[in-house]
């Protein structure tokens, strides 16, 4: 792959978007390669995924604006659907995904971070949805995921001004989980991914499913979903192993079965 690198070890996968000359901007080739990388991660047995950008300036600075020239409503909608499909794969993935935000996460880059399950930011990271400055709105899920994460009032302020915010402001509004020094970013993400990878993979996947599906249900229906998934856990070898390990006062050895 030309613009994506993939490394998998110790049940952890690392995807790096590598277009440093363009500040890792998204284009059709990046979307295609990201989709291929996600296929490989799914086959690998990885239990956690980290996504970051190459270099120390940008996570992903946005979509490649040059590729917007000449688009009409139909071709723009096709591009939107393409980006949404790839990002929805991340959001709906049973493998928990951590965005290691190592610089600018603007436009499509912010939308990529929002599609991940968790976000850890370097202290110099910057976030924003500046599409209105181009006479546009986000097209890769930003209007919806940002609203669900920080609430409609804060989301609309960012969406309608195009204002960029720093990492500490992103932490204050709940856009990121944690802010760390730049030289600690990858070790913090790897530590979190390692902690997740030690847990029962099916339980982790069902926790993600309960949160993702339950968010759009009434509380009663969401509790029914939780009950259904809780019951399903007891059909797994991992639940038997986890319970017995607790009784034996030892660490569980989860197989994913």
Active site members: 111, 131
Taking a C-beta distance cutoff of 8 angstroms, is the pair 33, 69 a contact?
no
Residues near 94 by beta carbon (within 8 Å), at least 6 away in sequence: 201, 204, 205, 208, 209
| CA–CA distance, 154 with 200 (Å, rounded to integer) | 36
d(CA 30, CA 182): 25
Structure letter (DSSP) for residue 116? S
The residues pairing with 128 across neighbouring beta strands, listed in sequence order, are 106
Residue with tokens 């070890």, as numbered in its chain? 9
Inter-CA distances, 60 with 34, 45, 70, 75, 213, Å: 13, 26, 23, 23, 28
């Amino acid at each position: 792959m030309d613009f994506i690198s993939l490394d998998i070890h110790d049940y952890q996968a690392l995807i790096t978007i590598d277009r440093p000359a363009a500040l890792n901007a998204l284009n059709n080739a990046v979307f295609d390669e990201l989709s291929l990388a996600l296929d490989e991660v799914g086959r690998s047995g990885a239990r956690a995924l980290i996504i970051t950008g190459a270099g120390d300036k940008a996570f992903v600075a946005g979509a490649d604006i040059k590729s917007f020239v000449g688009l009409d409503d139909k071709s723009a909608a096709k591009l939107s659907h393409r980006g949404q499909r790839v990002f929805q794969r991340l959001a709906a993935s049973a493998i928990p995904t951590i965005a290691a935000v190592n610089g600018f996460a603007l436009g499509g880059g912010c939308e990529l971070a929002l599609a991940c399950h968790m976000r850890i930011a370097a202290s110099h990271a910057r976030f924003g949805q500046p599409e209105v400055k181009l006479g546009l709105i986000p097209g890769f899920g930003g209007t919806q995921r940002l609203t669900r994460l920080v609430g409609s009032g804060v989301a609309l302020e960012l969406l309608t001004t195009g204002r960029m915010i720093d990492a500490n402001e992103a932490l204050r509004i709940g856009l990121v989980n944690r802010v760390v020094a730049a030289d600690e970013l990858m070790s913090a993400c790897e530590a979190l991914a390692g902690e997740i990878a030690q847990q029962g993979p099916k339980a982790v996947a069902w926790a993600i499913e309960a949160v993702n599906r339950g968010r759009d249900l009434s509380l009663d229906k969401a509790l029914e979903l939780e009950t259904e998934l809780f019951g399903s856990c007891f059909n797994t070898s991992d639940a038997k192993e986890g319970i017995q390990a607790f009784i034996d006062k030892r660490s569980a050895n989860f197989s994913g079965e």
